[in-house]
Structure 1
Amino acid sequence: MTRNDVTTALAAQLRRRVRCAQGLEPADLVLKNCSVVNVHLERTHRADIVVLDGRVVAVRDGYAGDAGEVVDCAGRLAVPGLVQVLASADDHLGHGTTSVVEVATAGRGGGSDLPRTLRAAAGSPPLAVLPPGAGDGAGPARAKLRDGHVVLVSSATMLIGLDHRNVCLGPAGGGTLAGSVTSAIEAGVPLPRAVQLATLNPAMAFGVDHEVGSIAPGRWADVALLAGRDACVPVAVYLGGRRVS
């Protein structure tokens, strides 16, 4: 395939996605009546999530186009698939983790119950992993942030009084990333911010936010529908627009 062929194919794909977003071509999937967590603005809003070719093409209320599958989410919170920094044995799809960012480590094979693996972009900042017990409060994390690190924490107490822009949540020992998000919410972190720490922040820090980390046009349609509004407990997980849990 020549470069011109590739350019033509990409242009046709883009036109199809734009027409789908406009309701002029059928979508593969529409998740209707969601309360979408916008991790960029740290707020929720009512919207339908429109999916074509595994990607989000529109996020808006009242989408009227046709679709191969329509799911009424009945107002459930829809959050981006969680993005975990570094792999662990517990990062399977049932807990809402849909992507793993490998930072200066070897890759791993995929599997039907495993998230996709993404490589951190070249030139990404160094990662400082602070496990529970690394210190009291936000002091240790703040010191690493001053040194230019991206900080990975799993203890909600380390988040208090901390500038969260370069902070990512990770699973506590033996736990899950969703469990750490729930712990942050219980510690008083607003749900949109807690979700942001486990989605957009790691995606932006390591240069993969054009692919994952938010529910927005162009990103992979990785979505977790939550059971309630006070914990990160998925009742359904979609990976690239396909229900996997």
Structure 2
Amino acid sequence: MRKKERFDALISYFTESHPEPETELHYENPFQLLVAVVLSAQCTDKRVNIVTPALFRDFPAPEYLAVSSFDELAPYIKSISYPNNKTKHLLGLGKMLVEDFNSEVPATVEELQKLPGVGRKTANVIASVIYNLPTMAVDTHVFRVSKRIGLVTQTAKTPLEVEKQLVRHIPEDLIPKAHHWLILHGRYVCLARKPKCEKCDLTSFCRFYEKKMKAEKLAESLAKDSDRR
């Protein structure tokens, strides 16, 4: 199957089965989503959602972070991965939002990446979810799923390489949705260690599944030949 056919099949399936995908992080405004995404780096959305209600209650706007201290903020996120670094990031993020962006979350990937703790992936998430821009955040799920299905080449070794290949073949208006499609599929079906191929609806155009079936048929054939001997 050609790459374009895989993309067409993926888009057709998810457009029908999951037309309005959303982030699983809980938030009520751009500032809250920014904080939640920074916290979610190498941490589950479920854990972040446990922590953020108290955090957002006591730090509802950038101004509150800007005047806070490490000792005040750290207890709120102590159960999050890398709490010390993320505490420092949030304190710096709050100050920069207040001082450089009039307490507003920037609307471009370039400006977002100036904020402490905000790399390209986080910036792409904010630009996509809040501002509906055609940016593709590539996390471990997107990276794994897109390569397994055959949407990108196996030679794509970095998130940026995967991102460039994906946005090249997905219509701009669907890129924000495709980001969530791939993440959620990787989170619940195409698991890293043991993908649930038996429950997957993408097997008809998945390169990983195609190779898996060929390997199983070959093993079965070899076993039969061995039995005959």
TM-score, structure 2 length as denominator?
A: 0.28
- Greater per-residue helix proportion: 2
Which protein, 1 or 2, shows the higher relative CO under an 8 Å CA cutoff with sep ≥ 6? Answer: 1
